[in-house]
Chain A
Amino acid sequence: MSGLPDVVIVGAAESENVGVVPDQSQFQLAADSVLRALAQCGLGIGDVDGVASTLQVAQFAHHLGTRPRWLDGTGVGGCSYMLHVRHAVAAIQTGQADVVVVAHGESGRSRVGPTLRVPDMASPGGQFELTYGVAGTFSSFTIPTTAYLHKYGLGEEALAEVTAAQSAWASQNPRAFRGKSLTVDDVLASRIIAWPFHVLECCPVTDGGGALVLTSAERAADLDLTGPPVRVAGSGETCEGPGASFMEDLTTFRGFRDSSAEALRQADLTVADIDHLMVYDAYAHLPLYGLEDIGFVGRGEASAFIASGATRPGGSLPMNTNGGGLLYTHTGQYGMFAIQEAVRQLRGEAVVQVPDVRTSLIQGVGGMFSAAGALVLTTA
């Protein structure tokens, strides 16, 4: 990567419990994850000189007992962790930090210790969406999908296929919040939340945390690691508009296109080189957009690709192998869990392990088709 030193992930851990965790605050979920991740690489809090989080980062760094010389509080939604990793790589390469922790904790379900969310009627969403009964992401993030399905002559099954395919992974994963094996008919029989979306095509809301520890490959060589280091080979970030209605074209997300292209270019890889894929799936349309926008399939071909079994266990492009945000867990800002699963696959430690994963692409979205972040991780 252009003569710059390699940066690797040496620790990656989720909180002990994910799903329903009513006895821990979001700071505790994040702190639990950081300590578990540090334990994987023989490092302590005293070694950490960089902290990134979507939690109030100065407060979190203080609670942890760190004395950081580098902070990143980038908060652009669920893909913020992809951006944190990208920024941490640059910081480590330029000597601004040696050991960075990226931390997530969210009590999305039990609401222990989160910032109270009161509808802000002065915000753009409050002024121009809440007034029309847009009470959440369910009936806003999903709206472009009607235009997408119409353009390609697809029906409701196109969305149901996404959940059904991911249930082939989730049903083998005891940590999955929705761990049942599901057929397309099962999904279509679940109640409608915001047509054309059924409840099983919308993420659940859960509690959980996750953390990453990053350092230089050189430093990693001296550490006592419990698993092989994972190289951050490329990354990309961008934004398109403040909300989904601002998309230039409702059937494709420029954020996915630009950030994944940048990550692959940096990694000097093409989609043909990618063994494993994670696409942020708060709703079932996102993997369809992701597969097309990253370039794995042509426009309008994603649902047929998924229906062919290509993304299921044994398929040519294993995708969302933890079950995804739809089935594994979705605390609110899911991106950290997508990165965790990619690291597990590259280390050979996943619950449902894909054989011989050497490259993984992780595509995140933040806000509602607003920001985007992509990572390409490889074995070191």
Chain B
Amino acid sequence: MTARTTVGAVLPLRLKPYVDADNSAFWSGGADGALMIHRCRSCGSWFHPPAPVCRNCQSLEVGPERASGRGTVASYTVNVQPWIPGSEPYLIAWVELAEQPGLRLTTNLVDVEAEDVSLDMPVEVVFEPHPDGDVWYPLFRPAPGATA
């Protein structure tokens, strides 16, 4: 089953996150082309969104670390209802990062039409800067050779 909706330019208006100590690396890593994801320094578990404690081993020794930026599409939807005025249909996906099974983040898929998206499709991170230049949104596009 594939979506048959042509998707447009992604989000003419993108809200800006509230940046705090926990998430600043995630939102600024794009300046260096780095997808920064929280990781436990005691047991090595990755998790997202950033949290103050590792739910695997309860260690407080947690912090951002550079992830590969590679993953696969775990699931997705084609948002058609124009919640954001002027928006055309866009793809919201959960990408499972290569670092760990079940390590997912919410993102937009770009550089791909809805009907060309498939589950488990390999994708890679690409960064979209906010016009203010202080936030980089991690987005994902098909990895080279991912679509026919």
Binding site for B on A (CB under 8 A): 119, 121-122, 124, 126-136, 138-140, 142-147, 149-150, 154-156, 191-197, 245-246, 248, 250
Contact = CB atoms under 8 A, between A and B. Distances in A.
Residue among B11, B16, B74, B80 with most chain A CB within 10 A: B80
A194 B18 contact: no
Interface residues of B, number: 38
A127 B15 CA distance: 9
A195 B20 CA distance: 33
Contacts of B81: 135, 138-139, 193-194
Contacts of A131: 14-17, 137
B28 interface: no
A146 B49 contact: no
B18 A126 contact: yes
A132 B1 contact: no
B75 A147 contact: yes
Interface string B8-32: 0011001111101001000000000
Given A133-B87, A149-B1, A195-B3, A139 B79 contact: yes
A196 B2 CA distance: 9
A147 B49 contact: no
A340 B147 CA distance: 50
A121 B16 contact: yes
Nearest to A135: B83
B1 A126 contact: no
A196 B89 CA distance: 13
- Give 8 closest A-B pairs by Cβ, nearest first: A135-B83, A195-B78, A122-B18, A147-B75, A121-B18, A127-B17, A139-B79, A194-B77
A138 B77 CA distance: 10
Contacts of A248: 102
Given A133-B83, A134-B92, A245-B106, 17 more contacts: A121-B17, A122-B18, A127-B17, A127-B18, A130-B17, A132-B137, A133-B14, A133-B79, A134-B79, A134-B106, A139-B81, A139-B83, A143-B94, A155-B1, A194-B78, A194-B92, A250-B74
